[in-house]
């Protein structure tokens, strides 16, 4: 009986810490994905003199856009293989122009809804890390 109580106490301490670590890992994964997108967007801009429009979206890094302005120097192999989803299975949000920046990349967090706190908080490429 004492062993069961001790295991219960240990689980009550360890499980929340493991869950917090999982939440932190997902947030860090989202930041790493957005940094990779940021790098690909820089390469796109260097070759095409502008970032993709909001309408062209992040898919412009994978497939040559057909919507105006069509990039003249688009890299035939693309800038990334695929646009991944965020760690919670939602699409990354891209807007051009962004608020205070040429573009924005963000994730809506675990709940997929704008706003929130903790793991549900929105994450932006421009957030201080």
Q: Which CATH number is 58's domain given? A: 3.30.700.10
Domain contains 118: yes
What's the whole-number average pLDDT of the chain? 88
The tokens describing 25, both together, are 């890992």
DSSP string spanning 50-79? SPPPTTT-GGGGTS---SSSPPTT--TT-S
- pLDDT for the residue numbered 124: 94
Q: 30 lies in which domain range? A: 2-124
b/e 78-92 (16+ beta carbons within 10 angstroms → b): bbbeebeebbbebeb
Domain contains 129: no
Count: domains in the chain = 1
Residues of the chain with pLDDT under 70: 3-4, 6-20, 129
Answer positive or negative: Cα dihedral of 63, 64, 67, 71: positive
């Amino acid at each position: 009986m004492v062993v069961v109580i001790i295991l219960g106490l240990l689980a009550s301490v360890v499980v929340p810490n493991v869950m917090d670590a999982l939440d932190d890992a997902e947030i860090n994964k989202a930041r790493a994905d957005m940094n990779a997108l940021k790098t690909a967007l820089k390469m796109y801009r260097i070759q095409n003199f502008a970032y993709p429009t909001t309408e062209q979206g992040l898919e412009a890094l994978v497939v040559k856009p057909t919507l105006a302005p069509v990039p003249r120097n688009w890299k035939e192999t693309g800038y990334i293989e695929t646009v991944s989803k965020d760690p919670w299975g939602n699409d990354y949000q891209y807007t051009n122009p962004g608020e205070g920046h040429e573009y924005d990349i963000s994730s809506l967090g675990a709940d997929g809804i704008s706003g929130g706190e903790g793991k549900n908080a929105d994450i932006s490429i421009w957030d201080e890390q």
